[in-house]
């Protein structure tokens, strides 16, 4: 059976006055039906752009995007509209992702109206279903976004995304702007919906503990490049790429007995504009050598565990 | 720390805005004066004590008295009636000119704001050229071309307010376009037209209403200025600016001619500014309490 | 900085050319035939035809536009007045300084008094000073400058006879003639500048770096003058640009009241007497001067805001959407 | 100048029944309700809570930089080295701000003045609190501080917009520590930063705190940061301290239902559970707090006793306090 989403050598460059910004650079992955791919990385690594490019909010510069085996990369007009109904997105900022002038009810029903495939009564009934599905109570139907707290606004965003029964949903840091107690409610809701509706998620976040909890496989990105990709258990058990190891060790853990030894990275993220070829982490990598500046290629170290680092053999001996 | 962050407390609907406005006494005062003036202006032909053009030579330069509240002018006409009747001209010029200017300006601004790229550049350069000519100078040139008169003044003033409105809406749209609810609208297949009309414009309207109210005040003053220098509405029409201009020659022997038309302009502009400030605080999310 | 000035200067050329073309095209739609205006009603048919030929009125508009542009921008010759045959450029040279004098004094008075008033109103927010300033500002903005001029003339010239109501004087005595016009022009400007300063200051006072300054133990006076004021100057200078346009327009009307022979009386007189070359030449020249003054305001903007200066130091031009008053 | 009453037997910093209210849009917001805290010299207290719990308000009350429009300290005392800061005159308080007590803010992007050079903003706090007024000396000290926080001294003349988020936060730290304060108030210093940069900045703060033996009040909502940096922990909910204890006590056996709920809601790094245990219900609305325990509406163990009247803090001998009247039931329910 074809994977729901397959991305091959996807690139997205933005022309800026200072030069060509390589937001997404040669990304390849597949996501099976009902599974969640976590995409993690620091700000500026291109994870949000990747999500938006797949669902055509940005036009891709190069590469291929397949939805259920069908190529949706350069669709236009009617075909694009149909493909888009199958791919939806949930946004990060609850305060700016809902139109402040529209009631909750009209925000949820808008996708149904725009698709022009439903009668008035069908729309009313489906809107009611969606509100129950995401747990928004009836009396809030006529409320405006500013009358709701962050958690319930995200629920409205989720209801809007699910209105057209999509198969693939990009979750762009959906819980980062929420408090911990509300965050857990929304994460549980997303998992429940995945089980009930068989949804396939691409979950973008910078929070490692959230990504571990919700995703089956994880893809670590740095400055537009995928540096490591494997199952979530394996990534936290045996991280291989130096950046992934530094990322994991930088997280302050709540286990006070085990003082985590720190691999503190030097310096700052370099600029993604007109980047030099080769590994973009070389500037901050403690193990960087001459050959790191050459073009890197992704190798499968163990089944399902891909890493992009030419000096992996020599480095991994010094890990344990 | 108050829970409500920067977003508006009272979005959504006219009633909520009015409720918020009622707390602001100054804005209510402005609204009261303005509506009183508009009602008086509409009823003017029926309630003014004397016909505004009736010349009673006996009362030439009569001081303000019981029979003639504001006294009489050089032709013995009752100034109170002329000021009241003049309101029809001055206020209507302000409102119509800003209305036309806003409609045209907003369309241009919306097109530039949403489509961006070359279209935006072209429009902005054209607006730069128009705005390189100071407001009053542009009015003078246009009235030289069209000639004086009530309708020509309206046309001149609406052309003048187009560039301000267009630039303001464009800036507002560029700001709103960054919000994620616009990306959300695109992701659910909304057409460009629907995004502009049902998402962008409703969110850009409130600052436009505020600047339109202030615009009316500015336009009334400019219209009076134009008539004052003889390029706007011509006497004997009792437009306030024209009345002031006529009163100028007799400033030595009949000073009271100067007071009332000017006062009428000032009161109208004050009321509009009060209303504009009230609207800004009621509609603007960052309330300056 | 020099790179920023050069860039803005180069940027002004298309705008100035655009203004000239726009005004020229608009003037071609003026009512009345030029030859009848020049020769008057008694002229014969042949004289009229000769005049049309001489002025090249029958040539296609593009040719006439080209000729006019080359006259103005290459030979700096704005042509002659139809009625008095006086060279326009020389009269402008004589009149422009007077209008600029009045406009610039109005700007200085408005900014000089408006900003401190606005700062005081912002510091003493919601206290009596704030409401007093704002009530006065509201009234100031509402009073049209030409009505105020008449009232001032009535009070100080007609009744008290302290100041002259008309004309201009030379040298030190000339100042006397400028007092009433400057006051009537700047009251409105002063009021709106105070309002703009107050709202800019209120925005800045709520910023995080003001809390940082307070947490450093900076006394309140320095927090306002050293930290807050410099940041609120940025929006104020943007507004000053558009206010300059209002003052220029206002000055033209005030000149007619006080019979100051500046650009205002010159152009308005020409409109009434249908002497279109003066209106055309005068408007273009005034618009060019206005653009130069806007350039100066832009430079002020760059001096206050280091981000703009750094922008141009690294050679990148940032699209700047100017906030509208 | 009145004789300053100083009682020396008090802990270094002691806050007693602090109550702060905001007037916003006609309603009274009870931001901080009878908060009492202590902090010893050189120690770090973690103040943990969610948005709107009143954490930042407490810090700003200590420095007395609450925005004066609409907010005021209703009652309570704040003793620093035995001296009640709330009674000090404005001039005396100014001598303390930035010198004895200083603050680091959450959002580095807006914490620095965009139109002033970075170095001058550091030198300013040095000149305010040093008796000599020779500028070169202040500049030298500012450059020293830049080196200490890991920024090359020649960046003294750069402007804030030329710095990244992490670098700006280092400048804010340099400003806060320039005069060797005794107390550092850190309001979510690393929340706005990326994980790797956060690790760098947290280590920098911990290192400088140990070097200068500075007491610190660390405000955060991230339990991991508390575990790594703090000695004692106070959990705050709706403007009231609901649990207080040492790091071991709070992390090993939390006793208040809200604290337990917080730990349950955090996805744990090393175990793998199917579902998180969120705290259901809504965050509290500070304009109308319930009469009894403010957590009652969301608490599984709530009985009508919890709703009736405010719950007092029940103190235990080993210093692990908890504001809950059903601790045994919670303990039972939990095991």
pLDDT, one tens digit per residue, over C5-36 is: 888 888 888 888 888 888 888 888 888 777 77
Q: Is C317's pLDDT higher than 60?
A: no
pLDDT at position A131, please?
Answer: 93
Residues 6+ apart with CB under 8 A from C163: C156, C157, C176, C179, C180
**pLDDT score, position C74:** 83
DSSP character string of A9-25:
EEEEEEEETTEEEEEEE
CA distance C5 to C22: 26
Higher pLDDT residue, B124 or C51? B124
- Location of structure tokens 């935006």: B120
Could you tell me if B181 lies within 8 Å of chain A, comparing CB atoms? Answer: yes
Chain centroid to CA C247: 5
- Across the interface, whether the CB atoms of C317 and A18 are under 8 A apart is answered no
**Residues in C touching B223 (Cβ below 8 Å):** none
Range from A177-186, C34-43, D156-165 carrying the lowest mean pLDDT: C34-43
For residue D283, list chain A residues with Cβ-Cβ distance below 8 A: 149, 179, 181-182
Handedness of CA D218, D223, D229, D230 (dihedral sign): positive
Closest CA to C199 of B206, D110, B287: B287
pLDDT, one tens digit per residue, over A237-258 is 888 888 998 888 888 888 777 7
pLDDT in the model for residue B289:
35
Cβ(D142)–Cβ(D119) below 8 Å: yes
Q: Considering chain D, what percentage of its residues have pLDDT values greater than 70?
A: 95
B273 touching chain C per CB within 8 A: yes
Per-residue pLDDT band for D6 (boundaries 50, 70, 90) equals low
D118 vs D131, higher pLDDT: D118
Residue ranges, chain A, pLDDT below 70: 259-262, 320
Chain A residues whose CB is inside 8 A of the D202 CB are 252
CB contact under 8 A, B183 and A89: yes
Residues 13-52 in B contacting C (C-alpha not used; CB under 8 Å): none
Angstrom distance (rounded) from CA D259 to CA D49: 9
Q: What is the DSSP-derived secondary structure letter of residue A145?
A: G
C7 interfaces chain A, CB cutoff of 8 Å: no
Distance CA B21, CA A59 (A): 45
Contact pairs from chain A to chain C, CB under 8 Å: 3
Distances (CA, A) of C78 to B134, C69, C142, C277: 20, 9, 38, 8
Comparing alpha-carbon positions, the chain A residue that sits nearest to B203 is A101
In sequence order, what are the beta bridge partners of A202?
A37, A170
Rounded Cα gap, residues C22 and B136, in angstroms: 16
D139, D119 in Cβ contact below 8 A?
yes
Percentage of chain C beyond pLDDT 90 is 18
- Contact indicator for A112, A163 with CB cutoff of 8 Å: yes
Mutation choice for C interface testing from D107, D113, D117 by most C CBs within 10 A? D113
Q: Long-range CB contacts (< 8 A, 24+ apart) of C27-35? A: C27/B141, C27/B144, C27/B145, C27/C276, C27/C279, C27/C280, C28/C61, C29/B145, C30/B144, C30/B145, C30/C274, C30/C276, C31/B147, C31/C274, C32/C274, C34/C82, C34/C276
A28–chain B Cβ distance below 8 A for any pair: no
Average pLDDT by stretches of 10, chain B with 289 residues: 36 71 87 92 84 79 81 84 89 94 92 85 90 88 88 92 91 89 92 90 88 93 91 86 88 86 93 91 59
Compute the distance between CA of residue A49 and CA of residue D24 in angstroms, rounded to an integer.
39
Is the Cβ pair D286, B3 closer than 8 Å?
yes
Residue of C205, C213, C216 for testing the chain D interface, max D β-carbons within 10 Å: C216
Q: Would you give the DSSP letter of residue C228?
A: I
Q: Which residues are bridge partners to A24 per DSSP?
A: A12
- Are A254 and D227 in contact (CB < 8 Å)? yes
Nearest partner of C325 among B177, B287, B273, B119, judged by Cα: B273
The yes-or-no verdict on residue D236 having pLDDT over 70 is: yes
| Confidence at residue C139, expressed as pLDDT on a 0 to 100 scale | 92
Nearest CA in chain D to C226: D116
Hey, which chains touch A, using 3+ CB pairs under 8 Å?
Answer: B, C, D
Q: What is the mean pLDDT of chain C?
A: 84
Chain B interface, best mutation among C27, C150, C284, by max B CB count within 10 A? C150
Across A85-173, where does the E strand assignment appear? 87-90, 168-172
Q: How confident is the model at residue C194 (pLDDT cuts 50, 70, 90)?
A: very high
Q: Other CB atoms closer than 10 Å to residue B148's CB: what's the count?
A: 19
**Residue ranges of C 178-207 with Cβ closer than 8 A to chain B:** 199, 202-203
Q: How many CA atoms lie within 13 A of B123 on its CB side?
A: 25
Token couple for A227: 């540096």
CB atoms within 10 A of CB D30: 20
What's the confidence (pLDDT) of residue C324? 33
Interface with chain D: mutation pick from C126, C203, C206, C217, highest number of D CBs within 10 Å: C217
The pLDDT tens digits of the residues spanning A196-220 come to 999 999 999 988 888 888 899 999 9
Instruction: Sort out which chain B residues have CB atoms less than 8 A from C30's CB and list them.
Output: 144-145
In the DSSP assignment, the letter for residue A292 is G
Place of tokens 């709540």: A254
- Predicted confidence (pLDDT) per residue in C231-265, tens digit: 999 888 888 888 888 898 888 899 988 888 888 89
Per-residue burial over C32-54, b if 16 or more Cβ lie within 10 Å, else e, is eebbebbbeeeeeeeebeebeee
Q: How far apart are the first and last CA of chain B?
A: 15
The token pair at B172 is 């507002």
Q: Is D29's CB within 8 Å of B9's CB?
A: no
Q: Residue B3 has what pLDDT?
A: 34
Residues D271-288: pLDDT tens digits? 677 788 888 888 788 888
Gap from C140 CA to chain B (nearest CA, Å): 9
Cα–chain-centroid distance for residue D317? 25
D222 in contact with chain A, both atoms CB, cutoff 8 A: yes
Contact status, residue A108 vs residue A130, Cβ threshold 8 Å: yes
Whether residues A163 and B188 touch (CB distance < 8 A) is answered with yes
Q: Which residues in chain C have Cβ-Cβ distances shorter than 8 Å to B131?
A: 245
* Spatial contact of B283 and B203, defined as CB atoms under 8 Å apart: no
Indicate whether C143 pLDDT > 60: yes
- Paired residues of A302 in beta bridges: A305
Check if the interface score ipTM surpasses 0.95.
no
Residue carrying structure tokens 């200068």: D212
Torsion (CA) C293, C296, C300, C303 in degrees, nearest 10? 170
The pLDDT value recorded for residue B8 is 39
* Cβ–Cβ gap B171/C324 under 8 Å: yes
The reply to whether A17 touches chain C by the CB within 8 Å rule is yes
Element (H, E) at D32: strand D27-39
Residue C117, pLDDT > 70, answer: yes
Taking alpha carbons only, the member of B118, A183, A213 closest to residue D268 is: A213
- The pLDDT score that the predictor gives to residue D234 is 94
- Listing DSSP states for chain B in one string gives --S--SS-SS-SSHHHHHHHHHT-HHHHHHHHHHHHHHHHHHHHHHH-SS-TT---GGGTTPPS-SSSTT-B-TT--BHHHHHHHHHHHHHHHHHHHHHHHHHHHHHHHHHHHHH-HHHHHHHHHHHHHHHHS-HHHHHHHHHHHH-SSHHHHHHHHHHHHHHHHHHHHHHHHHHHHTSHHHHHHHHTT--HHHIIIIIIHHHHHHHHHHHHHHHHHHHHHHHHHHHHTTSSSPTTS--HHHHHHHHHHTTTT-THHHHHHHHHHHHHHHHHHHHHHHHHHHH-SS---
For the record, the structure tokens of B275 come out as 């209303």
Instruction: State whether the Cα torsion A100-A102-A105-A108 is positive or negative.
Output: negative
Interchain CB contact of B122 with C (< 8 Å): no
Distance from CA of A115 to the nearest CA of B (A): 8
- Spatial separation of the C-alpha atoms in residues D37 and A29, rounded to whole Å: 52
Q: Residue A201's beta-bridge partner residues? A: A36, A169
Contact A57/B at CB under 8 A = yes
Residue D225 in contact with partner chain A when CB distance is under 8 A: yes
**DSSP conformational letter for D164:** -
The percent helix, strand, coil of chain D (3-state, each to 5) is 40, 20, 40
Collect all residues of chain D within an 8 Å Cβ-Cβ radius of residue B4. Answer: 24-25
CA A36-A41-A45 angle, 5° bins = 115
A110: which chain B residues are within 8 Å (Cβ-Cβ)?
A: 185, 188, 190
């Amino acid at each position: 059976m074809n994977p729901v989403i397959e991305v091959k050598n996807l690139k997205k460059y933005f022309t800026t006055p200072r030069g060509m910004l390589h937001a997404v650079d040669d990304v390849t992955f597949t996501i099976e039906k009902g599974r969640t791919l976590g995409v993690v990385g620091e700000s500026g690594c291109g994870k949000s752009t990747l999500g938006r490019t797949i669902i055509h909010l940005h036009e891709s510069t190069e590469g291929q995007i397949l939805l259920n085996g069908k190529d949706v990369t350069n669709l236009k007009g009617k075909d694009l509209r149909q493909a888009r109904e199958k791919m939806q997105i949930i946004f990060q900022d609850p305060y700016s992702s809902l139109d402040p002038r529209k009631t909750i009810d009209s925000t949820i029903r808008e996708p149904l109206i725009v698709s022009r495939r439903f009668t008035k009564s069908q729309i009313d009934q489906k809107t009611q279903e969606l509100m129950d599905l995401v747990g928004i109570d009836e009396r809030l139907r006529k409320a405006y976004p500013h009358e709701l707290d962050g958690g319930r606004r995200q629920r409205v965003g989720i209801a809007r995304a699910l209105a057209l029964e999509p198969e693939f949903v990009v979750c762009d840091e959906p819980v980062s702007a929420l408090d911990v107690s509300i965050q857990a409610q929304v994460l549980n809701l997303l998992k429940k919906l995945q089980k009930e509706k068989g949804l396939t998620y691409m979950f973008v976040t910078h929070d490692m503990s959230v990504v571990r909890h919700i995703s089956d496989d994880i893809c670590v990105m740095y400055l537009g490049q995928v540096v490591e990709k494997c199952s979530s258990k394996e990534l936290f058990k045996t991280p291989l790429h130096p950046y992934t190891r530094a990322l994991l060790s930088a997280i302050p853990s709540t286990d006070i007995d085990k003082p985590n030894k720190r691999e503190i990275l030097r310096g700052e993220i370099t600029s993604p504009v007109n980047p030099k070829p080769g590994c973009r982490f070389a500037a901050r990598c403690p193990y960087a050598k001459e050959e790191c500046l050459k073009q890197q290629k992704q190798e499968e170290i163990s089944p399902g565990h891909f890493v992009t680092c030419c000096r992996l053999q020599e480095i991994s001996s010094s890990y344990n | 720390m108050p829970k409500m962050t920067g977003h508006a407390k009272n979005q959504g609907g006219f009633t909520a805005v009015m409720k918020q406005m009622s707390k602001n006494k100054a804005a209510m005062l402005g609204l009261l004066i303005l509506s009183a003036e508009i009602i008086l202006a509409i009823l003017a032909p029926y309630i003014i004590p004397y016909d505004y053009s009736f010349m009673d030579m006996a009362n030439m330069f009569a001081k303000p008295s019981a029979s003639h509240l504001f006294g009489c002018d050089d032709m013995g006409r009752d100034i109170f009636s002329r000021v009241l009747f003049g309101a029809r001209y001055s206020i209507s010029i302000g409102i119509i000119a800003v209305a036309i200017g806003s409609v045209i300006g907003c369309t241009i601004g919306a097109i530039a704001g949403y489509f961006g790229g070359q279209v935006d550049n072209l429009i902005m350069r054209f607006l730069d050229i128009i705005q390189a000519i100071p407001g009053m100078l542009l009015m003078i040139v246009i009235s030289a071309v069209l000639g004086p008169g009530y309708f020509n003044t309206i046309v001149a003033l609406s052309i003048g307010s187009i560039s301000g409105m267009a630039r303001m809406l464009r800036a507002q749209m560029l700001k709103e376009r960054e919000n994620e609810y616009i990306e959300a609208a695109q992701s659910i297949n909304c057409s460009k037209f629907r995004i502009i009309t049902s998402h962008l414009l409703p969110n850009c309207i409130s600052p436009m209403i505020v600047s339109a109210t202030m615009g009316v005040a500015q336009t009334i003053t400019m219209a009076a200025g134009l008539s004052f220098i003889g390029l706007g509405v011509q006497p004997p029409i009792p437009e306030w600016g024209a009345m002031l201009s006529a009163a100028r020659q007799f400033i030595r022997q009949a000073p009271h001619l100067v007071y009332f038309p000017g006062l009428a302009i000032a009161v109208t502009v004050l009321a509009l500014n009060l209303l504009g400030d009230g609207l800004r605080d009621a509609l603007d999310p960052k309330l300056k309490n | 900085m020099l790179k920023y000035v050069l860039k803005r200067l180069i940027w002004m050329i298309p705008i100035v050319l655009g203004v000239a073309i726009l005004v020229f095209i608009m003037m071609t739609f003026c009512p009345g035939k030029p030859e009848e205006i020049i020769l008057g009603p008694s002229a014969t048919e042949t004289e009229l035809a000769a005049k049309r030929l001489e002025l090249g009125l029958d040539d296609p508009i593009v040719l006439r536009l080209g000729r006019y542009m080359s006259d103005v921008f290459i030979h700096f010759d704005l042509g002659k007045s139809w009625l008095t045959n006086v060279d326009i450029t020389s009269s402008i040279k004589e009149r422009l300084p007077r209008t600029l004098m009045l406009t610039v004094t109005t700007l200085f008075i408005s900014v000089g008094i408006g900003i401190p008033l606005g700062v005081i109103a912002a510091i003493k927010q919601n206290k009596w000073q704030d409401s007093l300033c704002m009530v006065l500002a509201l009234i100031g903005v509402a009073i049209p400058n030409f009505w105020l001029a008449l009232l001032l003339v009535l009070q100080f010239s007609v009744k008290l006879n302290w100041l002259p109501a008309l004309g201009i004087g030379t040298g030190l005595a000339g100042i006397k003639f400028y007092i009433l016009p400057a006051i009537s022009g700047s009251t409105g400007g002063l009021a709106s500048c105070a309002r703009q300063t107050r709202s800019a200051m209120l925005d800045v006072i709520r910023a995080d770096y003001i809390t940082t300054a307070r947490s450093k133990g900076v006394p309140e006076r320095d927090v306002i003058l050293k930290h807050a004021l410099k940041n609120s100057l940025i929006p104020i200078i943007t507004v000053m640009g558009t206010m300059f346009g209002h003052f220029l327009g206002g000055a033209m009307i005030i000149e007619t009241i006080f019979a100051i022979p500046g650009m205002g009386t010159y152009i308005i007189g020409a409109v009434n007497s249908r002497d279109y070359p003066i209106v055309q030449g005068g408007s273009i020249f005034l618009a060019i001067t206005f653009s130069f003054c806007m350039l100066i305001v832009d430079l002020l903007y760059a001096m206050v805001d280091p981000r703009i200066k750094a922008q141009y130091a690294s050679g990148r031009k940032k699209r700047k959407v100017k906030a509208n008053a | 100048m009145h004789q300053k009453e100083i009682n020396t037997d008090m802990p270094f910093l002691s806050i007693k029944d602090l109550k702060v209210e905001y007037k916003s849009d006609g309603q009274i917001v009870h931001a901080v309700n009878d908060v009492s805290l202590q902090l010893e010299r050189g120690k770090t207290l973690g103040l943990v809570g969610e948005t709107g719990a009143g954490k930042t308000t407490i810090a700003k009350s200590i420095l007395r930089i609450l925005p004066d429009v609409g907010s005021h300290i209703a009652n309570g005392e704040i003793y620093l080295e035995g001296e009640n800061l709330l009674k000090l005159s404005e001039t005396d308080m100014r001598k303390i701000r930035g010198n004895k007590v200083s603050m680091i803010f959450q959002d580095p992007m807006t914490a620095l003045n965009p139109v002033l050079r970075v170095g001058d903003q550091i030198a300013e706090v040095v000149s305010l609190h040093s008796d000599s007024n020779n500028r070169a000396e202040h500049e030298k000290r500012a450059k020293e501080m830049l080196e200490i926080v890991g920024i090359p001294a020649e960046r003294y003349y750069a402007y804030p917009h030329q710095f990244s988020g992490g670098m700006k936060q280092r400048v804010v730290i340099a400003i806060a520590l320039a005069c060797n304060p005794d107390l550092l108030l850190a309001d979510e210093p690393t929340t706005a930063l990326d994980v790797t940069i956060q690790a760098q900045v947290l280590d920098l703060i911990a290192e400088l705190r140990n070097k200068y033996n500075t007491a610190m009040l660390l405000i955060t909502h991230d339990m991991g940061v508390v575990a790594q940096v703090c000695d004692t922990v106070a959990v705050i909910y709706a403007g009231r301290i609901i649990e207080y204890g040492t790091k071991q006590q709070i992390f090993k056996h939390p006793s208040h239902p809200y604290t337990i709920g917080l730990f349950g809601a955090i996805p744990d790094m090393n175990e793998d559970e199917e579902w998180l245990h969120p705290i259901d219900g809504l965050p509290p609305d500070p304009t109308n707090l319930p009469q009894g325990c403010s957590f009652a509406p969301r608490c599984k163990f709530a009985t009508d006793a919890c709703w009736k009247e405010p719950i007092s803090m029940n103190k235990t001998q080993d210093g692990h306090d908890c504001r809950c009247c059903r601790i045994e039931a919670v303990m039972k329910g939990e095991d």
